[in-house]
Chains A and B, each alone.
Chain A
């Protein structure tokens, strides 16, 4: 009898572990699959942990108004303090970074110096930025978040009032940094508006694409035909990875290129046709490498007007092979701004992943 009870208990426990969705191994933003967790998916963004260590660098005044130079020391110090006290992130302070980089003659650095700087900074992320005073007592900040030793950088802008209100701006920036430095690399600047019109670019097709569409339409959104007018999807996994990087008005995630790989030699020895050729190559590099962000913004404006009634948002979703994980970018096409980005959202199926994406963007 005792054995029977024990056996039944064991079976019950095994059943529970098989069927309790919350006990299934999941990674990413989602955490658990239960309906209740789906409902509360959005607040989890703020509950994401940031990186263990972040180095905070310079914040440069890019305006000609020298009376605001005092913010060059206040902004990074306040940000370091906010990250440390609010999110318990170990900070390498701006003064320490300045000291280290001064020895290496790297006090003034740009994006191209980051790989070099990586050798001297013992943290997982390096944050630096710039600011510009605006009209109406406001200040615009541009913040760069660089994963040390990597080849990519996340940049976002935020605006707030100066003086007393500046600390709420700092808090917002530190929340963004904490979310971006999480392994799920989450960035969210605004909610997806209800009943808006969406266009979707993804690497799934046919019945799976219908599943994704189903969840979007069920939420009350209008769906532009975009990829939906084709039977087959021409964008494969490797292709959609080209859309991994994105540039927008307010935020961008981009590759850091090495300027030294551009070699366009010419001189008195080169003839007219060679010079013409060089100029053409220079134009291509300028358009597609150096100033590429202009192209992305132009494209977003074109997609916005691609239908008789404007398309409000572009969703780029890249599913993995078993379609249980996806990375996502969401662009507000009216403002050409990246409003949501995540490196990984996990679920049980295409429908589940889609539901989680919509819950995260909408709430």
Chain B
């Protein structure tokens, strides 16, 4: 009797935290900073095959957005990140060093890399401003769609201020598809 009760309690102690933990990892979140104007001119950034991209764009258009002819998979340019031409000049003459001493070369190498990370983000800021002027886009919507048991997410960037104005994490449900997820995001972005 005592053993049975003990086992029952132990099971409860073990199962409940795991159940609660598994729920908490799938928690959604949403934050909005400012109202998006109706019929906002938006550009979409999503990494999906073309047929799926079209489905995303059409869903946004159906919700009243003026989707501009800007369609990117991401804002990457490897040249921007790994343009390390300065390194070729100092890639030799490194003496053996003691464990606690840092070579001048190593310091230069790390610092050049560091500058590339900063500069990459600075380049991206100017790219965003170009997107606004060249494509007449006011807001950029960045999306990542995930399958059931994972979290789909969205961000909206105001290209006038370069501020993030909307974020949402949406745990994808069992019966969700691209259309339902995008409609969900679109409604939340619009109904702010």
A residues with CB within 8 A of B: 3-4, 7, 11, 14-15, 18-19, 115, 118, 149-151, 197, 199, 201, 206-207, 210-211, 213-214, 217-218, 222-232, 234-235, 239-240, 242-243, 245, 255-263, 277, 280-281, 284-285, 288-290, 292, 295, 299, 302-303, 306-309
Contacts and interface: CB of A to CB of B under 8 A. Distances in A.
Interface of B: 2, 5-6, 9, 13, 17, 29, 31, 33, 45-47, 73-76, 81, 86, 89-90, 93-95, 97-98, 100-108, 110-115, 117-122, 124-126, 128, 140, 142-144, 151, 153, 155, 157, 160-164, 167-169
Contact of B101 (A14, A225, A226, A258): A258
A15 B102 contact: no
B170 to A, nearest CB: 9
22 contacts: A7-B5, A118-B100, A197-B163, A224-B163, A225-B140, A225-B163, A228-B157, A230-B76, A234-B76, A234-B120, A257-B102, A258-B103, A261-B101, A281-B90, A288-B111, A290-B104, A295-B111, A303-B118, A303-B122, A306-B121, A306-B125, A308-B162
Contact of B157 (A225, A262, A290): A225
B79 to A, nearest CB: 12
A15 B114 contact: no
A299 B119 CA distance: 8
Contacts of A224: 125, 162-164
Contact of A211 (B46, B163, B169): B169
B153 A292 contact: no
A230 B162 contact: no
Contact of A285 (B6, B17, B100, B104): B104
A284 B89 contact: yes
Given A149-B100, A261-B94, A306-B122, A210 B142 contact: no
A232 B107 contact: no
B74 A239 contact: no
A257 B17 CA distance: 50
A207 B153 contact: yes
A261 B120 contact: no
Contacts, number: 198
A284 to B, nearest CB: 5
Contacts of B2: 3-4, 7
A284 B86 contact: yes
Contact of A239 (B97, B106, B117): B117
Q: Is the interface of A mostly helix, strand, loop or mixed?
A: helix
B6 A7 contact: yes
Nearest to B154: A210
B102 A255 contact: yes
Nearest to B118: A299
Contacts of B93: 263
Given A7-B9, A210-B169, A226-B121, A288 B102 contact: no
B111 A225 contact: no
B167 A261 contact: no
B173 to A, nearest CB: 15
A52 to B, nearest CB: 20
Nearest to B101: A258
Given A115-B101, A213-B164, A229-B142, A242 B33 contact: no
B161 A307 contact: yes
Given A218-B31, A229-B124, A263-B93, A256 B111 contact: no
A347 to B, nearest CB: 14
Contact of B107 (A19, A218, A229, A289): A289
A246 to B, nearest CB: 9
Contact of A206 (B33, B95, B153, B160): B153
Contacts of B162: 224-225, 306-308
Q: 5 shortest A-B CB distances, which residue pairs?
A: A288-B108, A261-B103, A307-B162, A207-B151, A258-B101
A328 to B, nearest CB: 16
Contacts of A235: 117
A258 B102 contact: yes
Nearest to B34: A222
Contacts of A257: 102-104, 106-107
B97 A258 contact: yes
Contacts of A226: 121, 124-125
B108 A285 contact: yes
Given A229-B157, A234-B76, A261-B105, A150 B142 contact: no
A38 to B, nearest CB: 17
B102 A151 contact: yes
A215 B140 CA distance: 21
Contact of A243 (B33, B117, B120): B117
A308 B45 contact: no
Contacts of A303: 118, 121-122
Contacts of B163: 197, 222-225, 307
Contacts of A302: 118, 122
